[in-house]
């Protein structure tokens, strides 16, 4: 039986009330492991920075919940470069793990949420109205915060704290439709659209109350709008990422149409527990890649 390593992380000490702790930090994992068994594969959860793991003993390594990589991206990429059979592949991880890719996509003509990158050593420029400060390398809403126009002093301190950690910063205007209709998370598996979720506003609660992954009550199944799926498909295609094992494209509604919030190609939650066929499709796609 072929062995598949499901790369994950150690438990995340963010919210002591979180239910996603211990050996399995990802609610998707039980669904994926069961689906792998159904197609004749043995899936094993392996912590990506565990020096005792022999990655070359596995037929394929699938990154799923390496959620603690963002403060040490260089270490994570060094690990990924040393894994022979990795999904998603290293070049995709390297490119999409830093939100500077938004500049590339904006310059290529794709609609993005307006983004100002305040790299280490630069002074921040804040938009009028509410805005968001987040690290350019980050996971979920960790180290991200929403500010009102009169809170520029606090926002500047936030930027300086991240800079002191050697982390570049992304500043974006807050998109009001997130409060009204949420973000649309579009999940792709094996290059094809699978299902959509609505993500409620994540920055409307104190940071201490946010889970490292998501707050379950903030998620709901969505009927994907065809124009949103078309938009996401075009973004992936233009980057030559159309045939990835998995991808998630997070978009928001603006006055001029759908805009890209984030491209999630490293360790996105795929919300398998909300859409049973997705786990089966993902397991089958993994089996096909093992066969070749």
CATH class of the structural domain 2-97+275-291? alpha beta
Q: Which residues of the chain have pLDDT under 70?
A: 12-23, 201-217, 291-292
pLDDT (0 to 100) of residue 243: 95
pLDDT (0 to 100) of residue 177: 87
User: Where in the chain are the domains?
Assistant: 2-97+275-291, 101-110+176-269, 116-173
DSSP assignment of the chain, as one string? -EEEEEEE-----S-TT-S--SS---TTHHHHHHHHHHTTEEEEEEETT-TT--GGGSSEEEE---TT-GGGHHHHHHHHHT-SSEES-HHHHHHHTSTTHHHHHHHTT--B---EEE-TTSPP---SSSEEEEESS--TTTT-EEE-GGGHHHHHHHHHHHHHTT--EEEEE--THHHHT-EEEEEEETTEEEEEEEEPPSTTS-GGGS-SS--GGGEEEE---HHHHHHHHHHHHHTT-TT-SEEEEEEEEETTEEEEEEEE-SS----GGG-HHHHHHHHHHHHHHHH-
- What are φ and ψ of residue 238, in 5° steps? -65, -25
CATH class of the structural domain 116-173? alpha beta
Q: What is the CATH number of domain 101-110+176-269?
A: 3.30.470.20
């Amino acid at each position: 039986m072929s062995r598949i390593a499901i790369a994950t992380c150690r438990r995340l000490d963010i919210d002591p009330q979180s239910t996603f702790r211990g050996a399995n930090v990802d609610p998707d994992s039980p669904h994926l492991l069961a689906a792998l068994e159904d197609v004749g594969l043995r899936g094993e959860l392996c912590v990506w920075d565990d020096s005792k793991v022999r990655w070359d003993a596995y037929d394929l390594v699938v990154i799923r919940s390496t959620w603690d990589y963002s403060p040490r991206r260089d270490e994570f990429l060094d690990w990924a470069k040393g894994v022979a059979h990795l999904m998603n592949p290293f070049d995709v991880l390297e490119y999409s793990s830093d939100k500077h890719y938004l500049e590339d996509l904006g310059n290529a003509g794709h609609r993005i949420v307006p983004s100002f990158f305040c790299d280490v050593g630069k002074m921040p420029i804040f938009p009028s109205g509410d805005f968001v400060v987040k690290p350019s390398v980050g996971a979920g809403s960790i180290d991200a915060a929403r500010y009102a126009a009169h809170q520029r002093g606090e926002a500047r301190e936030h930027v300086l704290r991240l800079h002191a950690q050697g982390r570049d910063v992304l500043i974006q205007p807050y998109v009001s439709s997130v409060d009204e209709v949420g973000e649309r998370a579009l999940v792709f598996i094996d290059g094809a659209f699978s299902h959509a979720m609505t993500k409620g506003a994540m920055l409307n609660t104190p940071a201490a109350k946010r889970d490292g992954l998501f707050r379950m009550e903030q998620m709901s199944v969505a009927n994907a709008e065809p124009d949103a799926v078309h938009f996401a498909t075009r973004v992936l295609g233009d980057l030559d990422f159309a045939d990835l094992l998995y991808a998630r494209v997070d978009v928001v509604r603006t006055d001029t149409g759908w805009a890209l919030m984030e491209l999630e190609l490293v360790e996105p939650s795929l919300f398998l527990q909300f859409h049973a066929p997705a786990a089966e499709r993902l397991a089958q796609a993994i089996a096909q890649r093992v066969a070749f």
